[in-house]
Amino acid sequence: MPSTSSAPEVAGVRVAYRRRTGLTGAKGGDWADSLGLPGNRLVLVVGDVLGGDLPTPPSVADQFRSATRVLTQMDLSPAQVLHRLDVLAASLGDEYTSTCVYVSCDLSDGTAVFASAGHLPPLLRTPYDPAYRVALPIGPPLGVGGGEFEERQCTIPPGSLLALYTDGLLGHALGEDADGAIAELGRLLDKAEDVPDEQLDQTCEHISHTMLGNGEHTGDATLVLAKLGRLPEADAAAWTLTARPTAVAQARDLIRDRLLAWGLQGLADVVELLVSELVTNALRYGIAPFGLRMTRDSANVMIEVSDGNPTVPRLRNVQVGDEGGRGLHLVDELSTDWGVRSHPQGKTVWFTLGIAN
């Protein structure tokens, strides 16, 4: 795993890693990743394979990491990702289970959704509060089977520092006192207040070294630090639409006004057409209220339409004479990219359009 990563596709985010590999023949193995998703979203994940009586082959942790990447690109919710990883772990045999914490951060509005499979609690230091444990419902480790994975959503202020880690990081700090070691990690995060983005990698190295010291350790030890910003207010807009038939015209007006304000009026005709289709579908099949959100970065404009019905729409073959079913085909043909993601409140259908188009 690389020692540092900046997740450049997500504006306002800096991510740093540190991992020390345990002694040869040690049981278990760590895996971690950070991934950017459309709509200024960032996924962070850390896992720790529990190897039973035998050393864990590196390929086992790699399978968890690779599967997580695939599931993340499917835009599943954190709990859905853990459920499918649980199925994967069961297929590896009884000798391998893994803890895992999965976090999806939306930098447009600062919301973060957490889910845990038996993992240690993330630590969060905000500009206003000292580091504290993020209280999560803890599901069973991956591979145990039969458990439910729950999610917790919270708002993270810009400039906050989020730490994910494995139990190997706690081994040196205060012996077997895990609570004391977590508290020590929190104190180190507090000392890192206002660290510049470009120094986050050095900060991660310093914290890791302080926690572990120079001695040998039997298991892997991983620390992931993420400094989370926020998309500038000028680059995002959000509205709530009612279930009235006028919602489609209202959505078109809101979209056109915002594109004019951004100097992107050349995109208006296509964006209005696609928004009309998505809002019409929401009115027809969704559950009110409906959310409409626009964001932009240097390359794309993104539009999202949300509603309270968790049923995911899919492309289907449209026959001559069918009155519906063409909306998603238009979105598929005219947008740069599009997708659907589920969340506890329902679903969101989104599309992007390149600014250069």
| DSSP string for 104-166 | EEETTTTEEEEEEEBPPPPEEE-SSS--EE----EEPPBTS-S----EEEEE--TTEEEEEE-
Question: 191 Cβ partners below 8 Å, 6+ apart?
Answer: none
Question: Nearest 5 degrees, angle CA 78-CA 79-CA 82?
Answer: 90
pLDDT given at position 4: 43
What distance in Å separates the CA atoms of residue 165 and residue 170, rounded to the nearest whole number?
Answer: 9
Which pLDDT belongs to residue 23? 56
What per-residue confidence (pLDDT) applies to 215? 63
| Residue 238 to residue 291: CA distance in whole angstroms | 7
Fill in the amino acid letter for 81. V
pLDDT on residue 8: 43
> Which of 315, 342, 312, 334 is CA-nearest to residue 326?
315
**Burial (0-12, 13-18, 19+ Cβ within 10 Å), 263:** exposed
The C-alpha R_g of the chain, in whole angstroms, comes to 22
Q: Which residues contact 81 (CB under 8 A, 6 or more apart)?
A: 68, 71, 72, 102, 115
* Tokens 């807009």 -> residue: 237
Torsion sign over Cα 201, 216, 122, 189: negative
Buried b or exposed e, range 301-317, using 16+ CB within 10 angstroms: bbbbbbbeeeeebeeee
Report yes or no: 47 and 98 within 8 Å, Cβ to Cβ: yes
Which residues of the chain fall short of a pLDDT of 50? 1-8, 174, 319-323
